[in-house]
Amino acid sequence: MSREAAPAVPTGTSMCAPSSQSVPALTGTTVANNDLASLFECPVCFDYVLPPILPCQSGHLVCCNCRPKLSCCPTCRSPLGSTHNLVMEKVANSLLFPCIYSFSGCELTLPYTEKADHEELCEFRPCSCPFPGVACKCQGSLMLFPCFDFHFMLVLEKQENYDGHQQFFAIVQLIGTRKQAENFAYRLELNAHRRRLAWEATPRSIHEGISTAIMNNDCLVFDTSIAQRFAENGNLCINVTISMC
């Protein structure tokens, strides 16, 4: 089963659209664990207060990220302390904490020592706006062309190589996780004047980016002369087919 789209792209322009690792699910989270973990919530950002834990003089907690921004305890206004709460740090060592992106669908709970590394790679973290050449700081869900209840993006980049010749790089990205992307295949095809040029691959997740694929030519690659052979009235028509694996 497949669906097709055929966007017309001017040959003189370009369009748009950290590698992540899977983290094994950790089991053993119980109601008691969740109740204890809730005691570590930071009153400022609502993330978790993790070691080193330096409570205020009255014993209230604030996380290490918020602490440098404060002049006093946000709960009681007493001075911030500089003495470790060894008991709380020991308790933190025995707990599993939810990923900060649990609100987006991440179900992992993990030791605090693994939490930051996982969140750097979490496939549920917000993605930056992928459009090139703009200063957009938008983060969140993006919608381009829908297919099979997902949204995909055709990326067409034009770059100049070392000898001054221009090359085009075309690739499809899924607005979703790498695991979701593995359920699909895409086909890019140029058709004109009894000629055909095609490329088939698995779409890239929006979280992976496309720079590595372009550097390794792991996408549809063609130069200006090829683009001119397939262009009609100055436009390059790329047929996009999305299939479920």
For the segment 146-150, the average pLDDT, to the nearest whole number, is 90
Distance, in Å, from the CA atom of 244 to the CA atom of 232, rounded to the nearest integer, reads: 31
The CATH number given to whatever domain includes residue 100 is: 3.30.40.10
**Residue 13 in this model has a pLDDT that exceeds 50:** no
Q: How far is CA 112 from the centre of its chain?
A: 22
Q: Compute the half-sphere exposure of residue 85: CA atoms within 13 Å on the CB side of its CA.
A: 23
For the segment 138-151, the average pLDDT, to the nearest whole number, is 70
Residue 16 located in a structural domain = no
Stronger pLDDT, 233 or 131, i.e. the higher one: 233
The CATH number given to whatever domain includes residue 236 is: 2.60.210.10
- Same domain for 115 and 149, yes or no, is no
Domain hosting 54: range is 31-121
Whole-prediction pTM: 0.50
Express each pLDDT in 23-60 by its tens digit: 333 344 456 788 888 899 999 988 999 999 999 989 99
> Which residues 6+ apart lie within 8 Å of 46 measured at CB?
none
Q: In the chain, pLDDT over 70 holds for what percent of residues?
A: 80
> Which of 60, 89, 121 marks a domain boundary?
121
Q: How confident is the model at residue 130 (pLDDT cuts 50, 70, 90)?
A: low
